[in-house]
Structure 1
Amino acid sequence: MRIAVITGASMGLGREFARQIPKCYRSLDEIWLIARNTDKLEEVKQELTSVNGVYCRLYNSDLLQDEVYNHLQRDMEALKPDIRILVNAAGFGKNASVMATDVKILTDMIQLNCQALTRLTSQCIPFMSGGSRIVNLASAAAFAPQPGAAVYAATKAYVLNYSRALGKELAENGIFVTAVCPGPVDTNFFDTAGTLKIPAKQKLMAKPEQVVRKALLDVRRRRSISIYGAAMKGAKLAVRLSPDRVTDWVMNRMNNKEYNVR
């Protein structure tokens, strides 16, 4: 049984991956969708079933709890699926200083963005074969420290570096890993993170359809990093070429209106 596994599938980029993957993987037997919002998951299931005719297996669960991993393990051991693509899209951020953010929010962010992604990936790898893909949602925030979103940027730097290293480890097995590093994307992400206060960032807001389309193209090309848009590609290059003190100064100047440490 050939399947796709998608986390954060009820909204945002996860939902968009669920919409576009059946067009790229036409031989899938099932798509396994993981998210907390039952109603939204049902909407995605109905949409995929009516448009693509693909069966969706739903896991209405919180990735910060053990239950979903136990449920998945039971199903994987029973059904022996061939996971053709895993998309780790679950995650959240917060546009606020560390001192202005509740510590539980910060630790939950680390657990979801880093620990849950790592745990699920390790759980799925034994059920992958040559040609399988792993797609991890990082961010352009991974390119440099982000005052005003320090923990979020640090978690995404972990995702980026983890993905690149994992890709090297799995290459001999024919399994390819892509870290997707978009800038601001017009999704519900900012409902939790808070609105962008810098006009320049607002102008760079991308459509989720475009980001996912580019990501899946890069996945097919076996690229280790997918970056949508010339501005984000330029930002990555600038960070790589600039000394740390220059990068830190620029990022502080860009973000100093978004946070206030009291």
Structure 2
Amino acid sequence: MTTTSGIAIVTGASSGIGAEIARQLSARGQPVLAIGRRAHRLEELSARARAASHAPIHPLELDVTAEGAGVLVRDRARELGGAAWLVNNAGTTRFGPFLEGDPAEQAMLVRLNCESVVALCAAIVPDLVTRGGGRVLNVASLAAFQPTPGHAVYGATKAFVLSFSESLAVELDRTGVTVTALCPGPVTTEIFDAGAPGVPRKKPPFEISAEECAAYGIAAADRGDVVAVPTALSKATAQLSRVLPRAVIRRLSARIGLSILGYGGLPRGARG
């Protein structure tokens, strides 16, 4: 089902998956409220939509971890006709051993990757229920399915997003509001530069583009899928956590987890 009435709220829309989701929804006629911290990127996204005669993309420069951000987003969405989609995509990572990281940065990861998702859902989902339907698309990660030594906090935050999304999907059954957790493996975005700046990385052959990931996530949300994992290899990897003992999964993650992302070894001391 294509929802064209109402606005699609997309966080982290300055680049990567978020920008692609905003662009693709706009291209199919869905007005978008694009949220991010880089105003010039959002303005460029909006200008491209206008030039292509697509549905409008309304930029909103905002840090979603700021106090009251959820209410600000809700009120702006109401001004634009009310929310029909909520896409919680804003997120980042930090690579390196936990004890070598900056505690303030680790706490920021939790605020951005977890707390902002909860706050925005609390602010927006009641409006979706009131209108009788809508889509919630929370961008998690393949990292949600197993421990992630080398980026421990990131993996834990994405496990939170997956669990929260599945629970919310059940609670919203029969309201017309669907909840989808998008759990991609490696995606070509700026997150790797942010997570380990200056650390050499070789792009793995199974890495997908932000465009592919966005299209997969939108289609999954349209179908009402609760958990969406792009690519056969990622699906198989996710299933391993269901059939192998936790001790085995921990050892495998420690040995090959960062290699799958294109790093030859643990980027010690890497900080964003």
TM-score normalised by structure 1 residue count? 0.91
**1:35-184 equivalences in 2 (<5 Å):** 35-66=36-67, 68-76=69-77, 79=79, 81-128=81-128, 129-184=131-186
In structure 2, C-alpha distance between the alignment counterparts of 1:71 and 1:219, rounded to whole Å:
25
Displacement of 1:72 in angstroms is 2.6
Is the Cα contact below 8 Å between 1:130 and 1:174 reproduced in 2? yes
Unaligned runs of 5+ in 2: 259-264
Unaligned runs of 5+ in 1: none
**1:24-43 equivalences in 2 (<5 Å):** 24=28, 26=29, 28=30, 30-43=31-44
Is the Cα contact below 8 Å between 1:59 and 1:68 reproduced in 2? no
Displacement of 1:52 in angstroms is 3.6
Q: Which residue of 1 aligns with 2:7?
A: 3
Seen in structure 2, the aligned counterparts of structure 1 residues 186 and 239 have a Cα distance that, compared at 3 Å, is same
In structure 2, C-alpha distance between the alignment counterparts of 1:179 and 1:41, rounded to whole Å:
24
Displacement of 1:254 in angstroms is 1.3
In structure 1, C-alpha distance between the alignment counterparts of 2:164 and 2:40, rounded to whole Å:
32
Displacement of 1:56 in angstroms is 2.7
In structure 1, C-alpha distance between the alignment counterparts of 2:51 and 2:159, rounded to whole Å:
38
1:120 partner amino acid: L
Question: For 1:43-68, what per-residue CA distance to the aligned partner results, in whole angstroms no more than 9, with x for missing partners?
Answer: 01101122243223221111121253
Q: Which of these residues, 221, 224, 239, is aligned with residue 222 of structure 1? A: 224
In structure 2, C-alpha distance between the alignment counterparts of 1:72 and 1:215, rounded to whole Å:
22
2:64 partner amino acid: L
- Report whether the alignment pairs 1:19 with 2:20: no
Is the Cα contact below 8 Å between 1:136 and 1:178 reproduced in 2? yes
In structure 2, C-alpha distance between the alignment counterparts of 1:18 and 1:56, rounded to whole Å:
8
Is the Cα contact below 8 Å between 1:93 and 1:152 reproduced in 2? yes
Q: Aligned residues: percent identity?
A: 29
Q: Which residue of 2 aligns with 1:258?
A: 266
Question: For 1:110-165, what per-residue CA distance to the aligned partner results, in whole angstroms no more than 9, with x for missing partners?
Answer: 00000011101110112213331000000000010000010000000000000010
In structure 2, C-alpha distance between the alignment counterparts of 1:21 and 1:6, rounded to whole Å:
10
Seen in structure 2, the aligned counterparts of structure 1 residues 255 and 55 have a Cα distance that, compared at 3 Å, is closer
Q: Which residue of 2 aligns with 1:239?
A: 241
* Deviation >4 Å, runs of 4+: 195-199
In structure 1, C-alpha distance between the alignment counterparts of 2:200 and 2:245, rounded to whole Å:
27
1:62 partner amino acid: D
Question: For 1:74-103, what per-residue CA distance to the aligned partner results, in whole angstroms no more than 9, with x for missing partners?
Answer: 4355x3833221111100011111111101
Q: What is the aligned-residue RMSD (CA, Å)?
A: 2.0
Displacement of 1:239 in angstroms is 1.4
Is the Cα contact below 8 Å between 1:41 and 1:58 reproduced in 2? yes
Is the Cα contact below 8 Å between 2:7 and 2:80 reproduced in 1? no
| Count of aligned positions | 256
1:16 partner amino acid: E
Is the Cα contact below 8 Å between 2:26 and 2:54 reproduced in 1? no
Displacement of 1:192 in angstroms is 0.4
Using the TM superposition, name which of 41-50 and 8-17 deviates more: 41-50
In structure 1, C-alpha distance between the alignment counterparts of 2:56 and 2:191, rounded to whole Å:
27
Q: Secondary structure of 1:112's partner?
A: helix
2:97 partner amino acid: S
**1:199-214 equivalences in 2 (<5 Å):** 202-214=204-216
